[in-house]
Amino acid sequence: MPPLDELLGHDIDTLQVTDEPQKLDPASIAERDTLMKRESGVTENSPMRLRMEEFIKEQQKEIVRELEKVDGKKFRVDTWTRESGGGGISSVLQDGNVFEKAGVNISVVYGTLPRPAIEKMRVNHKAIDPAVTSLDFFAAGLSMVLHPVNPMAPTVHLNYRYFETENPDGTSNAWWFGGGTDLTPSYLFDEDAIHFHKTMKEACDKHDKSYYPRFKKWCDSYFSNKHRGESRGVGGIFFDDLDEQEKDQENTFAFAQSCLKAFLPSYIPIIMKRKDMPYTEKEKEWQQIRRGRYVEFNLVHDRGTAFGLNTPSARVESILMSLPLTASWRYMYEPEKGSKEQRLVDVLREPKEWV
């Protein structure tokens, strides 16, 4: 099973997803989609499933191409398919010149939700018929984590996904978009945080002036190591369950596209500025401690990862590609007062407004 973790987003910790056909045959929509792609290609009139799949595939290629230019090394590409329809492509670069570990994955899932999962989903999506006993669904998303070698260069994470449930006749029922992009520095350069947030805000503002403030706040509250009283990083944007109660499908897709397309301009200038900065062994050690915190968030708090790992026959290597190549835990490690390390911790304890 491909990494459903981030794909299903907020609802997934409460879901039991199955590969087994229940009342309906989940392969049928997958088969219909395959046929449609083969016969007429993907156009503006195609179902959103096909348009989202095509969009994330293009974006994966473009991001991989740009990151290879930055790094000088090539990504390893693994492709897999699911028996019940769909599949994925994992692109991973390890031990690069610039990136210690970089993963850019897409996955596409055709599956069936059983009754308890349907009831949970109805809380956010009223279009879902409460009477059905099982429900076909489709999910497609791109997720990415980049861990650079240089401790002055920040880790970045991104995930955008589209989810829909199907009527018995194969037409789409409920649908929603979710996702986010967030930055996790070991050393804080204010200008980087400002540039990153500014780029995210511009992407949001084109669609709705209320989006950036709402989704910036949501990001700070989700990517939080609550047990440490710290945010994971300096945030960015995060949203989930964006459906027709908010805006129509066309506009919401356009918004998700803007967010994803904003990634390269938000991050490339930062990595170019930081990748060759000099650093000390002690600074590398601090980065390792911060990587430990990243592992803590992903394994303890991230609902997607927990869900993925508890899903039978999950593709563990794709789910855990988000973990850094190396991390460290030092007992009672305390940054010196007034140090750059302490400054980062102070900001993580009280998230700032950057734009």
Contact between 321 and a copy of itself by CB under 8 A: the answer reads yes
Footprint (CB under 8 A) of a copy of itself, residues 197-226: 226
* Using rule CB under 8 A, residue 320 touches a copy of itself: yes
User: Closer to a copy of itself at the Cβ: 191 or 317?
Assistant: 317
What gap in Å lies between CA 142 and CA 339, rounded to an integer?
37
**Contact residue for a copy of itself among 1, 118, 183, 314 (CB under 8 A):** 314
Chain positions 238 to 257 lying near a copy of itself, rule: CB under 8 A, are none
Residue 299: CA count within 13 A, CB half-sphere: 11
Q: What letter does residue 168 receive in the DSSP assignment?
A: T
Interaction of residue 235 with a copy of itself, rule CB under 8 A? no
In angstroms, the CA 240 to CA 238 distance is 7
CA distances from 317 to 26, 89, 146, 276, 313 (A): 25, 12, 15, 30, 11
Give, in degrees to the nearest 5, the angle at Cα 31 between 30 and 34.
Answer: 85
When binding is defined by CB under 8 A, the residue of 40, 97, 210, 326 that contacts a copy of itself is 326
Catalytically annotated residues: 157
Binding segment toward a copy of itself, per CB under 8 A, in 30-38, 44-52, 313-321, 347-355? 313-321
d(CA 268, CA 129): 44
Q: C-alpha angle with apex 107: 103 to 112, nearest 5 degrees?
A: 145
Q: Is 323 in the site for a copy of itself (CB under 8 A)?
A: yes
SS (H, E, C) 190-215: HHHHHHHHHHHHHHHHCCCCCHHHHH
Smallest separation, CB 300 to a copy of itself (Å): 5
Q: How far is the CB of 323 from a copy of itself (least distance, A)?
A: 4
> Between residues 90 and 252, which has the closer beta carbon with respect to a copy of itself?
90
Q: Strand, helix or coil at 87?
A: strand
Q: Does 277 engage in binding with a copy of itself (CB under 8 A)?
A: no
Give the one residue of 27, 36, 327, 345 binding a copy of itself; rule: CB under 8 A: 327
Three-state DSSP class for residue 80: strand
Our CB check for a copy of itself shows the closer of 168 and 229 to be 229
Determine the interface stretch with a copy of itself among 14-22, 79-87, 252-260, 326-334 (rule: CB under 8 A). 326-334
Of 162, 117, 132, 120, nearest in space to 15 by CA: 117
State the DSSP code for 13: G
Question: Would you give the binding string for a copy of itself spanning residues 69-108, x where CB under 8 A is met?
Answer: -------x-x-------------x-x------x-x-----
CB of 78 to a copy of itself, least distance (A): 8
- CA proximity to 87, closest of 160, 30, 150: 30
How far apart CA 53 and CA 241 sit, in angstroms, is 18
CA-based nearest residue to 232, from 154, 178, 308? 154
Part of the chain binding a copy of itself (CB under 8 A), chosen from 27-35, 208-216, 266-274, 329-337:
329-337
What is the binding site for a copy of itself (CB under 8 A)?
76, 78, 92, 94, 101, 103, 226-228, 288, 292, 295-296, 299-300, 306, 309-310, 314, 316-317, 320-321, 323-332
